[in-house]
Every structure is written in C-alpha cells, then in structure tokens.
Amino acid sequence: MNLSTVTAKIPQELSHLPSLSNLILTDNLLFGTIPPGFFNISTLQQLDLSYNEFSGTLPSNIGLTLFNLPQLALQNNSLSGRIPTSINNASQLTYLNLQANSFTGYIPNLSSLRLLTRISLAKNNLTEAKSPTQELEFLDSLTNSHSTSMGGVISSEIGNLTGLVTLIFNDNQLSGSIPTTLGNLKELGRLVLANNQLEGHIPISLCQMTSLSEVYLISNEIEGSIPECVGEMQSLRRIEFGSNKLNSNLPSSFWDLKDLVFLNLSSNYLGGQISPQIEKFKAINQMDFSSNLFSGDIHSTIEGCESLEYLTLEDPFLNH
C-alpha cells in the first residue's frame, strides 16, 4: 500500500489488513502517534513511514512483534524517547533508518541483527557513555555474546558485521575513539561519524576498508596524523576530515588518491607544504585547506587539477 500527499492522522483500521506486506506512507504530512497496530502486522516486509510528522515513542515490544520485518524506515519524523531494546529481536532486519528524530539515551545492543547491511541513527540526541564499561554494543559478537549494556562509545565489536555497506552515526554525542576493528568491514562504502565527540587517532586499520568511497569524520576531536597508508585506498572519492585536531604533515602517499572528487581538511593543525603532486588530482572538484598551518605556494601546481571548481585557501601560503 502506497499513499502520497496525505495530510491526516493514520486510521487504525489500516493495521487490520491480514496479508499486508508493504506499507509505504513516506513523504506526506501525516501526524500524531503511529497506530500501535502497525507494529503487530507480522506479514510486513517493508514499513516506511519516513518524512512525515509522527510524534510519540516506539512501543517497547517493537522487535518482538516485527520479528520478520526486513526494512524499517522511520526517518525524518518527530519521534522521541529511547530506541527500544527489543529492536534487537527483529533479527530479519537488513535496513534500519531512524535518523532525524529526537531519540535519546544510549544506542541499544543490536547483536542479533546479523543480516543488517544499512543503518542510520544520525541526527538524534543519542548520548555518550557515562563510563568506559557502557559501550555501544552495536552488532556485538556473533558468538558468545553476553553483554546487553548500552552506551555511546563505539565498541570494537562493530567489526563483526562484515556485510555492512553503510554506517551513518553522525550528529549525536558519541565519544571515545574510532575502533580499529572497522578495518574488518571490507564491504563498507560509506562511513559517516561526523559531528560527534570522537577523539584519539584515525586508526591505520581504516586502510583495510578496500570498498570505502566516502568517509566523514568532520567536527570531532580527532588528533594526530592521517595514516601513511591512506594512499592505498583507491576507492576513496570523498574525504571530510575538517574541524578536528589533526596536527601533522600530509603523508606522501596522500597524492596517490587520483580519483578523489571532494577533500575537506579545513580547521585542523596540519602543516608543511602542499606537494606538487597535487596535480595528480585530475578528478577533484572541491578542496578546502583553510585554517591550517600550511606554507608555500601551490598556485602553479594546482593547474593540473583540471576538474577543480571550488578551492578554499585561507592560510599564510596564499601570499607566498
């Protein structure tokens, strides 16, 4: 069932359709609470209520009643409260999108969602852990899992979901360091951890993510250097490392990313000279080096960047 351009509350009667497999009510002006009966339709394969004005909380037993559901899309509403811990029982989920709501509290244990390939919890009010033991048990160990704690630190157990292709956790209050086990996610194409409170270094294991095309770490507290091995990540098309505390020269291999399209390194403490090898960036469309400690003259070397449309340079090397 697919409705479009409707402004109303949803009638409870829709939940009485015993053979309903797909309920798509996206991009309307639907408001009020989601009828509880919607979460009791065991035949559903897709429940998409995204881009509406729904409010209220999710039922505490949502995962117990939608245990056969592969796709749940509730993004861009006004839902609030905690993400129910029972979501971990919806073991058939392959797609889970709760972004752009007002969910609070810790991210629950999701260790049983073994089929999950895409998840977005971005743009909520999910909070950081109160102690190091309250880690995000996101996709906990697929064997011998024993912990059900919740928290806002990204657990090393995230590396167990090797089929994940999209991970979007931006605009929350996640803290701690980026786990090295991210390197196990060989199929991951998009990593979005922007606008959190992450700290520590960019792990070298990031270079093992051979399918990664987009990485967003902007607006965190990450320090140290960009790994030398980053040049081996030939699938990269977009890098956003701006507004952190990175404080080294750029690695020599950086210029081997010849297919890079977008680069933002602004507002860090990166220094040294921009290598003449920047001319290898034939596909680059946008670059931002501003608010760093770079020096030298790059005007003659960027002539090789034939696809460049937007360049931001607000550092001393502009005038040298």
Task: Identify the helix (H) or strand (E) that includes residue 95.
Answer: strand 95-97
Q: What is the CATH number of domain 1-72+81-88?
A: 3.80.10.10
Q: Is the pLDDT of residue 243 over 70?
A: yes
Say which residue the tokens 């629950």 belong to: 108
pLDDT(8) > 90: no
Q: What is the residue whose two structure tokens read 């704690």?
A: 149
**In whole angstroms, how far apart are CA 220 and each of 57, 162, 232?**
29, 25, 24
pLDDT value of position 199: 95
Enumerate the domain spans of the chain: 1-72+81-88, 73-80+89-319
Whether 1-72+81-88 and 73-80+89-319 share one fold: the answer is: yes
Q: 73-80+89-319, what's its fold?
A: 3.80.10
Q: Which tens digit of pLDDT belongs to each residue from 110-136?
A: 777 888 889 998 888 887 444 333 344
Q: Could you tell me the pTM of the whole model? A: 0.74
**Cα angle vertex 207, ends 206, 213, to 5°?**
85
Those residues with Cβ within 8 angstroms of residue 108's Cβ, 6 or more apart along the chain or in another chain: 82, 83, 84, 85, 87, 88, 137, 150
Over range 244-271, report the average pLDDT. Answer: 96
Residue 289 binned pLDDT confidence (cut-offs 50, 70, 90): very high
Query: For residue 16, what pLDDT is reported?
Result: 82
Cα–Cα dist 233/227, whole Å? 11
Q: Residue 23 has what pLDDT? A: 93
Q: How many CA atoms lie within 13 A of 307 on its CB side?
A: 13
Sorting pLDDT into bands at 50, 70 and 90, what band is 137? very low
Whether the CB-CB separation of 63 and 84 falls below 8 Å is answered with: yes
Helix (H) or strand (E) holding 138: none
pLDDT at 1: 52
Whether 39 and 63 have beta carbons less than 8 Å apart is answered as no
> Of 68-77, 116-125, 143-152, 289-298, which gets the smallest average pLDDT?
143-152
- Burial class from Cβ neighbours inside 10 Å (0-12, 13-18, 19+) for residue 72 reads buried
Reference 44, options 10, 68, 64, 14; nearest CA is: 68
